[in-house]
A and B are shown apart, each in its own frame.
Chain A
Amino acid sequence: MKRTCLLTGASGALGSAFIERYAADLQIIAVHHERELNCATQYQTIIDPLQPARVVSSRTYAIRADLSSEDSIAEMCSEALEAFGGIDLLINAAVHRRYAHLLSDSALSDAERALAVNLLAPIRIAVQLANEYWDSRVDENLRRNRNIVNLSSTAGLYVCADLGQAMYGSAKAALIHATYHLASEFWNIGIRVNAIAPNTFPSIVSTESVLDQIMAFHGSEETGQLAVLDRA
């Protein structure tokens, strides 16, 4: 039986690459919001334009959700659990990336959204899944090696001057710290929690290296770890 993966940010570059690589191996629940998914789902198929009768690729299950909304997160988690009966891997890859200098007019215009999507959503989803499903299944969680991977960034580790990353970087820094707390508290229910802090992909580090690290954490026994992927 395929293991079930809940993937946020599924329509982004990393999410699309993850689905392309692992859709055949995992039952992926692809969470997206405004941008459409670039994969086969219950709503769309992938076809070869030169052989349109032949449908290609495995299907993911799509859920559209606004991760800045607590209600939307709760509905998304419930739908995912109802559709597949459990989650083995949660990848928090959704991101709100809008850079603005703090002294510019619009610097803080979407600060709440930046924090909600980049920091609060990963925590809320993890807690929601724990309350609704994982908390009562400790042995099963351990047996299936269930875990969470949070996508942070090197912007959460150091300051890139003049890039306007104050809100983004602060949220990503806090996500690293939240990962340590989640790992500590979820230890008792048999859920491992790790984080990755890549530099910009694919221009500085490869998207493949980020995917490799996600699956390395997924297949390991580690928890409370941060993997930094930066220029060599």
Chain B
Amino acid sequence: MAVSARSLSRTKSERRTIPQLAKILANRRWIRRERPYPHVVARNVFTPAFYSALEAEFYMLLAKGLSECPNSARMSRTIAGYDAYGIGFGQFSEGPFALFGFEPWHDMLAGLFDVRATGHVNIGAHHHRAGGLAGWIHNDFNPVWFPVIESASRIQHPDHSLCIYKTGTGPLQRAQKVEVVRAVAMIFYLCNPGWKEGYGGETGVFSSAAPDTQPSYRIAPENNSVFVFECTPQSYHSFLANPGMARNSIIMWIHRSMQDATARWPERQLERFKE
């Protein structure tokens, strides 16, 4: 049994608020590397006008303040042991952030790695205060949960009131929710004006999760740049400490079916979130 539709106007809304990708992408020369695992980086991603709109919206979010305990309206400490403030965006009706929940954006990310994506997306933002601690090396190869929703849009967002994204817990029956696997992760860096080497806050790309591994690449959090990677058992990455200045980003995952994931990798390699 499916949960009733909540936003049948989403597709119309997307058409109204999001310009065509080709018109807002300032740079279509993105860099793809295969090692240590498939990933793509690009600078100067959006046109100045669209980037400014994203930045303005992010600063409005920051202006609401930070919360030391979970808070759905403000960026808050939501991940135990991770020195960052985060917020999940859920569903947008309009505004520049709606781009990331826009079907062509989802399909573009999937196309970068030739992934058969399901349309499930999870979008949010991270803020690391200056002096933040490094994160841990992980791979984002995680199974996660979405409610099964009848909707005019192929794009589906998490709804924690129905089932918790990371664990699937909630009021829904098994048939009312679907377990999928993170397929592609995106980090878009913004509101980091004047970032320089030495300030930290890069995303480290690692060939191994072993302690003391040095990053193969340090992805600079320069404004209007993006880091995208396919989530695999080897897609090791980590936030690097940021002594010099705060670090801000929009984060996003698109997903593949469990069948697709386990056809390619052994199920035992899935990194399940703990309850």
Contact = CB atoms under 8 A, between A and B. Distances in A.
B35 interface: yes
A204 to B, nearest CB: 20
Contacts of A52: 32, 111-112, 114
Contacts of A56: 29
Given A49-B108, A52-B112, A44 B28 contact: no
A57 B29 CA distance: 9
Contacts of A34: 197
Contact of A50 (B21, B33, B220): B21
A166 B43 CA distance: 32
A36 B217 CA distance: 8
Contact of A45 (B22, B32, B197): B32
B136 interface: no
Of A38, A49, A50, which is in contact with the most chain B CB atoms at under 10 Å from its CB? Answer: A49
A48 B31 contact: no
Interface in A26-54: 34-36, 38, 40, 43-50, 52
B35 A46 contact: no
Given A47-B30, A49-B112, A38 B197 contact: no
A40 B34 CA distance: 12
B7 to A, nearest CB: 27
B25 A47 contact: no
Interface in B67-113: 108, 111-112
Contacts of B40: 47, 49
Given A34-B197, A44-B33, A50 B112 contact: no
B29 A48 contact: yes
Task: For chain B, give the interface size range.
Answer: 20 to 34
A35 B31 CA distance: 14
A50 B31 contact: no
B197 A35 contact: yes
Interface string A54-70: 00110000000000000
B31 A38 contact: yes
Nearest to A46: B29
A48 B30 contact: yes
Contacts of B30: 46-49
B197 A47 contact: no
Nearest to A49: B30
A132 B26 CA distance: 44
B42 interface: yes
Contacts of B35: 43
A47 B22 CA distance: 14
B149 to A, nearest CB: 28
Nearest to A43: B33
B33 A47 contact: no
Nearest to A36: B217
Nearest to A16: B43
Contacts of A57: 29
Nearest to A37: B31
Interface in B190-220: 197, 217, 220
Contacts of B32: 44-47, 52
B28 A50 contact: yes
B25 A38 contact: no
Contacts of A36: 31, 41, 217
A42 to B, nearest CB: 11
A47 B112 contact: yes
A44 B25 CA distance: 21
A37 to B, nearest CB: 8
Given A34-B197, A35-B197, A38-B43, A46 B112 contact: no
A228 B41 CA distance: 36
Interface of A: 34-36, 38, 40, 43-50, 52, 56-57
The 5 A-B residue pairs whose C-beta atoms are closest, nearest first, are A44-B33, A48-B28, A46-B29, A47-B32, A49-B30
Given A43-B33, A47-B31, 19 more contacts: A35-B220, A38-B29, A43-B35, A45-B32, A46-B31, A47-B30, A48-B29, A49-B28, A49-B30, A49-B40, A49-B111, A49-B112, A50-B21, A50-B22, A52-B32, A52-B112, A52-B114, A56-B29, A57-B29
